[in-house]
């Protein structure tokens, strides 16, 4: 893919021999090119209007008090560059490094709650441009027969006994989420992937990046996404409490939203279990994938059926 990225360089005013560094291969590929960060989109996932809509929201978020996000950079074709049917977008680089599981996460989850609340307040009141289109993250698109990120039945190391357990647990989960509903007080435009790898730390500043999966989902799902790949960490109850504390400094969080947090954490875990198998070529799958993650999901499923993951309730 480096040759395709090299061909995009002139569109951003960069010489064709600009050094390229592959930073990450996950849903997409992220490259460093001179003073820019370039994202090469996975073929067949987002349409050009969907990508343009993501960047429209990011552009609207620039300069808002208390909310730092990555800044999209236009090229000769506008915010979305197309070469041989592939889509490329550019961002200004950011100082600092990604938040890591070994870091003092308790220090950062209250600020993350504040950032998330500001994102939600903006999304609730923003007049979206004509043609704005993003994917929905709901029961059908996560747990249905044709989910965006693949089906959990494809999970590595899943046997018949485990499949039967996950069937029971996800049926209960789907019923709970359907009752919760998708009215505007519950469901709206969210980041949907505020996991540690998408949070940049620099000094005392925390910046949200990678809005590639932003779409329409439950507001409280953004907390579940922040706990991706650390769902079994013993620090989890404290992190949830810190996030809720930070969030409620900025915006209200209803009792019914708090009550749904354990179900949304389990939903996210099931979603990631499927994704790690369908995106086995990603750096994330190299780091977290395999039967061990699936087995951890089964442990959570047993706990969810037993007590609704009561230990995760704030």
303, 228: one domain: yes
Q: Which of 93, 111, 127 is the last residue of a domain?
A: 93
Q: Which of 43, 73, 93 is the last residue of a domain?
A: 93
Q: Which of 67, 93, 119 is the last residue of a domain?
A: 93
299, 150: one domain: yes
83, 120: one domain: no
pLDDT digits (tens, 9 = 90+) for 48-58: 999 999 999 99
Which residues form the domain of 52?
2-93
Catalogue the E-assigned strands of 9-163: 20-25, 29-33, 36-40, 72-73, 81-83, 86-91, 97-98
Mean pLDDT of all residues in 165-176: 98
46, 120: one domain: no
CATH number at residue 47: 3.30.200.20
- Residue 286's pLDDT band (cuts 50, 70, 90): low
89, 227: one domain: no
> Is the confidence at residue 206, as pLDDT, over 70?
yes
- Nearest Cα neighbor of 285 from 3, 27, 10 is 27
64, 141: one domain: no
* Count of structural domains, the chain: 2
> Is the confidence at residue 1, as pLDDT, over 70?
no
Question: Taking the mean position of all CA atoms in its chain, how far away is CA 152?
Answer: 18
Mean pLDDT of all residues in 15-40: 93
Distance in angstroms (rounded) separating the CA atoms of residues 102 and 98: 11
159, 24: one domain: no
Mean pLDDT of all residues in 108-124: 98
188, 104: one domain: yes
């Amino acid at each position: 893919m480096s040759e395709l990225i090299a061909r995009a360089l002139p569109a951003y005013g960069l010489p064709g021999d600009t050094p390229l560094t592959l930073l990450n291969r996950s849903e997409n590929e992220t490259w460093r090119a001179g003073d820019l960060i370039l994202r090469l989109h996975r073929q067949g996932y987002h349409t050009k209007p969907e990508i343009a809509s993501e960047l429209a929201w990011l552009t609207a978020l620039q300069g808002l008090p208390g909310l730092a996000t990555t800044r999209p950079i236009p090229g000769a074709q506008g915010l979305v560059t197309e070469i041989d049917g592939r889509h490329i977008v550019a961002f200004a680089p950011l100082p600092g490094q990604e938040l890591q599981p070994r870091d003092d996460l308790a220090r950062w989850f209250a600020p993350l709650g504040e950032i998330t609340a500001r994102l939600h307040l903006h999304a609730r009141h923003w007049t979206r441009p004509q043609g704005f289109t993003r994917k929905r993250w709901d029961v059908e698109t996560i747990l249905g027969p044709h989910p965006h990120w693949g089906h959990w039945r494809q999970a590595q190391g899943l046997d018949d006994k485990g499949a039967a357990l996950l069937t029971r647990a996800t049926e209960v989960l789907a019923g709970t989420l359907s009752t919760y509903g998708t009215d505007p007080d519950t469901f709206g435009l969210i980041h949907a992937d505020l996991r540690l790898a998408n949070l940049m730390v620099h000094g005392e500043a925390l910046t949200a990046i990678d809005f590639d999966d932003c779409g329409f989902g439950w507001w409280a799902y953004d907390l579940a996404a922040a706990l991706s790949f650390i769902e079994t960490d013993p620090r989890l109850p404290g992190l949830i409490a810190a996030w809720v504390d930070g969030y409620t400094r900025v915006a209200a969080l209803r009792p019914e939203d708090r009550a749904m947090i354990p179900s949304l954490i389990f939903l996210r875990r099931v979603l990631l279990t499927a994704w790690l198998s369908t995106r086995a070529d990603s750096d994330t799958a190299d780091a977290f994938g395999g039967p061990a993650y699936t087995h951890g999901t089964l442990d959570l499923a047993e706990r969810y059926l037993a007590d609704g993951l009561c230990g995760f309730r704030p």
